[in-house]
Amino acid sequence: MTRVDRCSVAIAVIVAACIGSGARPAHAQSAEAEALFRDGRNLIRAGKLAPGCDKLAASERLESSIGTLLNLGDCREKLGKLASAWAAFRKAEAMARRSGSDDKRQAEAGRRAAQLEPRLSNLVIEVGHRIDGLVVRRDGDLVSDAEWNTALPVDPGSYTIAAEAPGRAPWRTTVTVGPGAGRQVVAVPELAPVPVAAPAAAEAAPWPPPRPELAPRRATADRSMWTATRAASVAVAAIGAGAFGAGIYYGVHARDLEDRSNQRCPMTMCGDAEGLRLNDQAQTSASRANLFYIAGGATLATAAVLWFVGAPGEIAVAPVAGNHQLGVAMTGSF
């Protein structure tokens, strides 16, 4: 190898090293952005453009890079979102220019953006009447006053333009922008003032003031439920409950005495004096229990009758006689 050849090889190696050292990665370097970038590229290769674009856009938001923007612009152009693609190419061009060492991709981004510009659709939100507090939105997103009356590239589709201001009637409209529509203008009209209702004049109060009508007496259902008769029925019911309780006591006591007597006298005939005494006491307690049961039941029944009879209302009690029968009849509301 001649000296000239050796010099050529050395120069080539130096140039390659410079290019390699000055080259920028084709995409972002953080782990999250790298994973999103690769997923996006794989989806695009599989023909799934929309989800692939979304992955690339997410990667670019995490860590912007020239390579990611170039791929994102290409994907959006294939989807027909020319304004979004144009914006991605212009951003990649600016980043490459700032780096000062990526002329190739700077030129590529500029070339792709220039090719799209004649095909862009532009939307102008024209505001001719500026009033205090005026807010303009496009699809819910705020449009700053610096963007009013300026042609802004937009992707093809339908957009809702809305305007509102304090004390003014809100306004909205929907505009459809087609591909390659050029310049399309939406004029925001002067918002109409909202009429303020005048306060109603207070009517003079009549003098002298009208006498309030007395409310009619409520029906007997509104009267107090605790009449004297009902109070008495509660007392009678307490007595009946006590008698019934005494009957239960004597009944249990009679059963106990009978069990003790049967233990001493298991046979029908018994000569044990204590067993006979216990048996007599058991019979006496059983008789008392029956008496208290009867008295308690009758007393509770009487208390129930008194409760219903003593209800607040117009109740009449009259004797009834006939067919060898004597009784009382109660009429009225209970």
Three-class secondary structure of residue 205 per DSSP: coil
* pLDDT for residue 232: 78
pLDDT digits (tens, 9 = 90+) for 160-170: 999 999 989 99
φ/ψ of 101, rounded to 5, equals: -140, 20
167: DSSP letter = T
For the beta carbon of residue 307, count every other beta carbon within 10 angstroms: 20
φ/ψ of 316, rounded to 5, equals: -120, 135
Residue showing tokens 């589709």: 157
Distance between CA atoms of residues 82 and 87, nearest Å: 9
* pLDDT for residue 13: 33
* pLDDT for residue 204: 59
pLDDT digits (tens, 9 = 90+) for 109-160: 999 999 999 999 889 999 988 888 899 999 999 999 899 999 899 998 889 9
* pLDDT for residue 159: 93
Decide if 118 contacts 182 (C-beta within 8 A).
Answer: no
φ/ψ of 311, rounded to 5, equals: -65, 145
Using the Cα atoms of residue 60, residue 61, residue 63 and residue 64 in order, give the sign of their dihedral.
positive
Question: Residue 285 region, left (φ>0) first, then alpha (ψ -120 to 50), else beta?
Answer: alpha
Three-class secondary structure of residue 169 per DSSP: coil
Q: Which residues of the chain have pLDDT under 70?
A: 1-29, 198-226, 267-269, 271, 307, 312-334
* pLDDT for residue 73: 93
* pLDDT for residue 321: 53
Sequence ranges of the domains in the chain: 25-118, 121-188, 223-332
* pLDDT for residue 247: 79
Three-class secondary structure of residue 9 per DSSP: helix
Do 25-118 and 121-188 agree at the fold level?
Answer: no
Inter-helix orientation angle 103-116/66-79, to 10°: 20
Distance between CA atoms of residues 142 and 169, nearest Å: 18
Instruction: Identify the CATH class of 121-188.
Output: mainly beta
Domain spanning 25-118, CATH architecture: Alpha Horseshoe (1.25)
DSSP string, 131-148: -TT-EEEETTEEE-GGGT
